[in-house]
Amino acid sequence: MSGTSLDGVDAAWLDTDGEQIAAFGPSLTLPYDADLRRDLRAILDLAPTLAEDDPRLNNAVDRLTDYHIRAVKALDRPADIIGFHGQTILHQPGRRRTWQVGDASRLARETGLPVAHDFRSADVAAGGQGAPLVPVFHAALAANLPKPLAVLNIGGVANVTFIGPGGGLLAFDTGPGNGPLDDWCAAHIGQPFDKDGALARSGRADQAVLARLLADPYFAAPGPKSLDRLAFGRTLAASGLNRLSASDGAATLAAFTIRSIAAAVFPEPPARWLVCGGGRHNPVLLNGLRRTLLVPVGPVEAEGWDGDALEAQCFGFLAARVATGRPITFPTTTGAPAALCGGRIQTL
């Protein structure tokens, strides 16, 4: 899995039939080098008008596929199939378009394994949001936990899975995750992210700017709904954020993430939130959520889950579901008209 934070490739091994999880195995992260991360971030801006044969894109795809090949080989465990998400460079479900890049054919050829990929396109073509895809995996992990429960992933974008007392699912992107704050740190302090929340903690959120950010129409729309990594570009540009100091801007963006998560609407309030994704390492975000939600909030490690490997594990789980013809998206998770199988398998 390579997520919207553009920080690298997570890989994980698991033993599953797509319903039950028999065992977890090793996992790892291969961080992208600075040049690839820079080039992929530039491609996000170009993607709406980018041709599929653009040499800048092809060069980046070759390099990110290299990382995925290395990740699979580094796990060094026998496997039946690879789940390959690819790198999202554009997500516009309202226009029936979602675009994940990566060379599945080359990955299959160089690893000697079939590759399940293109997990989102069928859902988007049918009118769904194509995201989030993790809810069915969250439900499998949380099968024996008390409910109602919310499982929150804070990546570049934040998404949540609500699991009701009877096991019913509701899922959607809540709003920004780390993405805007990462971009702010890159521009203002030359760092790829706000390590330990240090920059945000040193500033004060500007309440007027925050109110303008939270007025974005996305937050009034009901779930299921999903976002592109750069979805709030115009709102951010018009908010007055750029007039703030580096520390106050970071504090405001952290508050934007916290408040947009807290504004999520569910059939009933979750009794507990479990948090995964890179954002769980940011104490400003996690402590802010605790103060705002007023229920237990903690990292997924509290239940023995691996928050760094969870999304990579998910795509192994989804690969097994694709291989066995099980659905991966549902009306209450993506807004699809019916439960859909999705995904394609690239053979050798």
Per-residue pLDDT tens, the chain, 348 aa: give them: 998 778 899 999 999 999 999 999 999 999 999 999 999 999 999 999 999 999 999 999 999 999 999 999 999 999 999 999 999 999 998 899 999 999 999 999 999 999 999 999 999 999 999 998 999 999 999 999 999 999 999 988 999 999 999 999 999 999 999 999 999 999 999 999 999 999 999 999 999 999 999 999 999 998 889 887 788 889 999 999 999 999 999 999 999 999 999 999 999 999 999 999 889 999 999 999 999 999 999 999 999 999 989 999 999 999 999 999 999 999 999 999 999 999 999 998
Q: How far apart are CA 194 and CA 254, in angstroms?
A: 10
Q: Is the dihedral of CA 335, 336, 337, 340 positive or negative?
A: negative
Per the DSSP assignment, residues forming a β-bridge with 29 are 10
Q: What is the pTM of this model?
A: 0.90
Q: How far apart are CA 145 and CA 305, in angstroms?
A: 12
Per the DSSP assignment, residues forming a β-bridge with 15 are 23
